[in-house]
Amino acid sequence: MNEPDFKQENQISGIILDAAITVHSAIGPGLLESAYQACLLYELRSRELNCQAQVPLPIQYRSVRLDVGYKMDILVEGLVVIELKAVEKLIPVFDAQLLSYLKLSEKKLGILINFHVLRLKDGFKRIVNGL
């Protein structure tokens, strides 16, 4: 990916972090993932970002495209994949899940956000796909 595109992704990730902090400050931990998704979508769209929720992610196996039920929680500006969680603790399989989504979608940057934390900075993680 060329330098200007990566700068755009970094700028978008800063806006995502700010929006996620706004959501977390307003409603705190303890709700379902779907509540955080709706609120975060609202915040991102209010910041004039193009966002899609529950984006289907088929896999390519041999020469066949297979819809196997994978969905990206949020795709921002067609560039950044957000995977949301509302869990006690992030575990390595969540990183692997997001990295798989990045590879399947051929996106460079993913953000894992766990809203079930006291301070959101403890639940925010950037993952880069080396393509």
Which pLDDT tens digit goes with each residue over 39-84? 999 999 999 999 999 999 999 899 999 999 899 999 999 999 999 9
Strands 80-85 and 109-114: parallel
β-partners of residue 113 are 84, 124
Ranges of each domain in the chain: 3-128
Where do runs of H (alpha helix) occur along the chain?
3-27, 33-46, 92-105
Q: Which residue has the tokens 């991102």?
A: 44
Distances (CA, A) of 67 to 8, 20, 53, 80, 126: 30, 30, 17, 21, 27
Please report which confidence band the pLDDT of residue 21 belongs to, taking 50, 70 and 90 as the band edges.
very high
d(CA 86, CA 7): 29
State the pTM of this model.
0.92
